[in-house]
Amino acid sequence: EEKKSLNFIEHIIEEDLRNGFSTDHLRFRFPPEPNGYLHIGHASSICLNFGLGLKYDAPVNLRFDDTNPEKEEQEYVDAIKRDVEWLGFKWAHECYASDYFPDLYKWAVEFIKAGKAYVDSQSSDEMAKQKGTPTVPGTDSPFRNRSVDENLDLLERMKNGEFEAGSHVLRAKIDMASSNMLMRDPIMYRIIHKYHHRTANNWCIYPMYDWAHGESDYLEQVSHSFCTLEFAMHRELYDWFLDQVYDIEKVRPKQREFARRNLSHTIVSKRKLLKLVQEKFVTAWDDPRMPTISGLRRRGYTPDSIRNFADTIGIAKRDNLIDVSLLEYCVREDLNKKAARVMAVLDPVKVIITNYPEGQEEWLDAENNPEEEVMTYRKVPFSREIYIEREDFREEANRKFFRLKLGGEVRLKNAYIIKAESCVKDADGTITEIHCTYDVDSKSGSGTEASMRKVKGTLHWVSVAHAEQVEVRLYDRLFNDAAPDSHKEVDFLEFINPDSLNVVKGFVEPSLKNVKEGETFQFQRLGYFCVDKDTSENSIVFNKTVSLRDTWAK
Q: Specify binding-site residues for ATP.
A: 33-35, 228, 268-270
527 binds, among Mg ion, ligand ATP, none (CB under 5 to 8 A by kind): none
Catalytic residue among 270, 297, 384, 411: 270
The least distance separating Mg ion from the CB of residue 194, rounded to whole angstroms, comes to 17
91 in Cβ contact with 118 (< 8 Å): no
Instruction: Tell me which H or E stretch contains 475.
Output: strand 468-475
**DSSP 3-state assignment of 5?**
coil
362 in Cβ contact with 349 (< 8 Å): no
Residue closer to ligand ATP by CB (options 168, 213) is 213
Residue closer to ligand ATP by CB (options 32, 300) is 32
- Cα–Cα distance measured from residue 485 to residue 487, given in angstroms and rounded to the nearest whole number: 6
The least distance separating Mg ion from the CB of residue 482, rounded to whole angstroms, comes to 23
Residues annotated in a binding site? 33-35, 65, 209, 228, 268-270
- Cα–Cα distance measured from residue 549 to residue 130, given in angstroms and rounded to the nearest whole number: 58
228 binds, among Mg ion, ligand ATP, none (CB under 5 to 8 A by kind): ligand ATP
Query: How many positions of this chain bind Mg ion (CB under 5 A)?
Result: 1
Catalytic residue among 116, 131, 256, 260: 260
Contacts 24+ apart (CB under 8 A), 500-504: 500/289, 500/475, 500/476, 501/289, 501/473, 501/474, 501/475, 501/476, 502/473, 502/474, 502/475, 502/476, 503/471, 503/472, 503/473, 503/474, 504/346, 504/347, 504/471, 504/472, 504/474
Q: What residue type is 358 in one-letter code?
A: E
State the DSSP string of 290-324: S-BHHHHHHHT--HHHHHHHHHHH---SS-EEE-H
**DSSP 3-state assignment of 229?**
helix
Question: In the complex, which residue's CB is closest to Mg ion?
Answer: 33
270 as an active site residue: the answer is yes
Number of helical (H) and strand (E) elements in the chain, helices listed first: 12, 29
351 in Cβ contact with 434 (< 8 Å): yes
Task: For 156-247, list the strands marked E by DSSP.
Answer: 169-172, 187-191, 205-207, 224-228
Could you list the residues that contact ligand ATP (CB under 6 A)? 31-33, 41-42, 44-45, 65, 227-228, 260-261, 268-270
45 binds, among ligand ATP, Mg ion, none (CB under 5 to 8 A by kind): ligand ATP
Question: In the complex, which residue's CB is closest to ligand ATP?
Answer: 41
Which x/- pattern over 23-62 shows residues binding Mg ion (rule: CB under 5 A)? ----------x-----------------------------
The least distance separating ligand ATP from the CB of residue 310, rounded to whole angstroms, comes to 9
33 as an active site residue: the answer is yes
261 binds, among Mg ion, ligand ATP, none (CB under 5 to 8 A by kind): ligand ATP
Distance in angstroms between the alpha carbons of the first and the last residue of the chain = 36
The least distance separating Mg ion from the CB of residue 393, rounded to whole angstroms, comes to 52
Residue closer to ligand ATP by CB (options 77, 112) is 77
Bridge partners, residue 401, by sequence? none
The least distance separating Mg ion from the CB of residue 33, rounded to whole angstroms, comes to 5
The least distance separating ligand ATP from the CB of residue 174, rounded to whole angstroms, comes to 24
Residue closer to ligand ATP by CB (options 154, 227) is 227
Output phi, psi for 205, to 5 deg: -120, 145
Residue closer to Mg ion by CB (options 16, 33) is 33
Q: What residue type is 420 in one-letter code?
A: A
Residue closer to ligand ATP by CB (options 213, 341) is 213
468 binds, among Mg ion, ligand ATP, none (CB under 5 to 8 A by kind): none
Residues lying near Mg ion in the complex (CB under 5 A) are found at 33
Residues labelled as active-site residues: 33, 260, 270
